[in-house]
Amino acid sequence: MLLNIDGQLLNEVYFNETVANYLWFAGIIVGTLLLKKPLAAVLTRISSRLASRFSYIKHKAEIRELLFKPVERLLMVILCFVASERIAGLLNSINLHRTAPRKGNNVIVNLGDLSDHVFLLLFIICFTLLITRIIDFVYYVRMGRAREEKNMSRQQMFPLIKEMSKLLTWTLSVFWILGSVFHVNIPALITGLGIGGVAIALAGKETVENFFAAFTILSDRPFIVGDVIKLGEIEGVVERIGFRSTRLRNADGSAFIIPNQNLVSQSLVNHSARETRGMKITANIRYGITPEVMAQMIAEIKETLHNTPPVKEPITALVESFEKETILLLVNYHLPHPLPEGKTLLALKHDINLKVFEIISKHAKLGAPPEKE
C-alpha cells in the first residue's frame, strides 16, 4: 500500500513534469556541487597517467594543474544540462514574450530552447578552454625537451606554433558557436569574409606584413632565440619571436619590441654568428709626447692586452689621426663569444679600459715637457 502511494506520488504531474523528474533534477544538481571536484580530480588523474607514458613520467603535477579547472567546468556544464533535461517539460511550457523595439512584433522565446542554446554555448567555451590547456601542456613538454637538447630552432618555432594552434582553435569555436547557437549561415559568412578579407588586409597591411615576416624569419633563420643582434642603434638578446613583433633585451635590462617587417627589410648584425666580438678604445693624447714614449706606450698596451684573459687576437694599437689639439690613439682587441661563464661584457670592458688608462697616464707624464721654474 505504501509503495503504491509512493509510486502515485512520484508519478504526480505538476507544471508538465512528474515529481520523480523534479527529484532527479534536484539530486543531480546537489550531486554536481558535491562531486564536481572529486570527479574532476579522477578524470585529471587518469589523463595525467596516460600522458605520463609519453612524457617520461615527470609531468603529472603540471598536467593536473593545467587541466583540473577546465575539466571541472566542463563537468558542471554537462551535468547541469543532464539535470535540466529532467525538467524539459516545465521549461518547454514557459514562453517568454518580448516586443521588438523597431518593428513592434511580439517575439516568443521558449525557455527550453533558450536553456539548450545557453548550455551549448557554455559547453563549446569550456571545451575550447580545455583544448587550449592541452595545447599549453604539449608546448610545456616539447619546450622542456628542446631546452634539454639545446635545440634553439625548436625553441624558436614552438611559441609560434602554440599561438597559431590556439588561434585556430578559437576561430573554429567561434564558427561553431555562430552556426550551432545563433544559427548563422556559415558558408555565406565565409563567402562574405572572403570578399571583405581584401578590405581587411588592406586596412591591416602592416599587421599582415609582420605576420608573413615572422615566417620569413623562421624559415631563413637570420637569427634564433638567444642570439645577440644589432639593428641600427638597438642591440640585445632575442627573447621571443611572435606573430607581429620580436622582443630584444639589451644589457641594462630594457626590452625593445621591434616589428618583424623591420627585421626583414633592414640590415642587421648577428653577433652570435661569430666566434669573437671586436672592441674599440679611442684616446685623445695632448701634443708634447715624444715619438719614443708614444712607441713605448703602444708596445705596453699591446703586451698588456695580450696577457689579459680572455682578450683574443688580433690586437692593434696605432695613431689614428692628428686632431687640432690632440693625437687620436686607436686600440682594437677582441673578446670571445660567448663570454666565459660568470663574465659580463660591461665588467670586462671596464677592467680593460682601466688598464689602458693607467698605461696612457703613466707615459703621458713621462712624455710631457718639464715644468718651468
Residues 264, 281, single domain; the answer is no
Quick one: how far is CA 345 from the chain centroid? 28
Element (H, E) at 124: helix 111-149
pLDDT at 53 over 70: no
Residues 6 or more apart in contact with residue 318 via CB below 8 angstroms: 298, 329, 330
Q: Are residues 168 and 110 in the same domain?
A: yes
Q: Which three cell numbers stand for residue 325?
A: 689639439
Mean pLDDT of 177-191: 81
Question: Is the model more confident about 258 or about 204?
Answer: 258
**Percentage, residues of the chain above pLDDT 90:** 17
pLDDT computed for residue 373 by the predictor: 45
Is residue 166 included in any domain, yes or no? yes
The bridge status of strand 276-286 relative to strand 234-241 is: unpaired
Do 144 and 221 belong to one domain?
A: no
Residue 114 falls inside a structural domain: yes
Residue type, 237: V
**Do 149 and 36 fall within a single domain?**
yes
The grid coordinates of residue 263 equal: 627585421
Same domain membership, residue 242 and residue 177: no
Judge if 259 and 282 occupy the same domain: no
Residue-wise pLDDT for 147-174, tens only, equals 888 777 777 778 878 888 898 999 899 9
State the pLDDT confidence band at 69, using cuts at 50, 70 and 90.
Answer: confident
Q: Is 193 within the bounds of a domain? A: no
* 258 and 353 share one domain: no
Among candidates 288, 16, 307, 18, which has minimal Cα distance to 6? 18
Check whether 20 has a pLDDT greater than 70: yes
**How far, CA to CA in Å, does 227 sit from each of 242, 247, 276?**
15, 12, 14
Alpha helices (H) along 181-312: 186-203, 205-220, 260-265, 291-306
- Of 264, 265, 263, 234, the C-alpha closest to 250 is 234
Q: Is residue 314 in some structural domain?
A: yes
Q: Parallel, antiparallel, or unpaired: how do β-strands 269-270 and 276-286 relate? A: unpaired
Question: 2-6, 177-181, 207-211 — which one is most confidently predicted on average?
Answer: 177-181
Same domain, 177 and 257: no
The predicted model gives 11-17 an average pLDDT of 76
Looking at this protein, which amino acid is placed at residue 199? A
Tens of pLDDT, residue by residue over 320-360, are 999 888 899 999 999 887 788 888 888 899 999 999 999 99
Average pLDDT for the chain: 80
Q: Which residue has the higher pLDDT, 8 or 58?
A: 8
pLDDT at 97: 66
CATH of the domain at 215: 2.30.30.60
Say whether pLDDT at 204 is over 60.
no
Same domain, 93 and 45: yes
Place of cell 634539454: 148
Q: 221, 239, 272: which is the final residue of a domain?
A: 272
Instruction: Note whether residue 176 is domain-resident.
Output: yes
Residues 171 and 289 grouped into a single domain: no
Provide the grid cell at 77. Answer: 556544464
| Same domain, yes or no: 127 and 249 | no
C-alpha cell, 156: 624558436
Last residue of a domain, one of 183, 198, 225: 183
Taking alpha carbons only, the member of 286, 287, 290 closest to residue 367 is: 290
pTM above 0.85?
no
Residue 202 belongs to a domain: no
Total domains in the fold of the chain = 3
**Residue 283 and residue 363: Cα distance in Å, rounded?**
13
Q: Which of 224, 251, 272 is the last residue of a domain?
A: 272
What's the CATH code of the domain at 298? 3.30.70.100
Q: Tell me the per-residue pLDDT of 89-131, one tens digit each, with 9 for 90 and over.
A: 877 877 776 665 555 566 677 778 888 889 999 999 999 998 9
- The answer to whether residue 328 is domain-embedded is yes
Q: Can you give the residue range of the structural domain that contains 247?
A: 209-272
Q: Which residues pair with 247 in a beta bridge?
A: 240, 257
Residue 219 lies in a domain: yes
Q: Within this chain, do residues 18 and 163 fall inside the same structural domain, yes or no?
A: yes
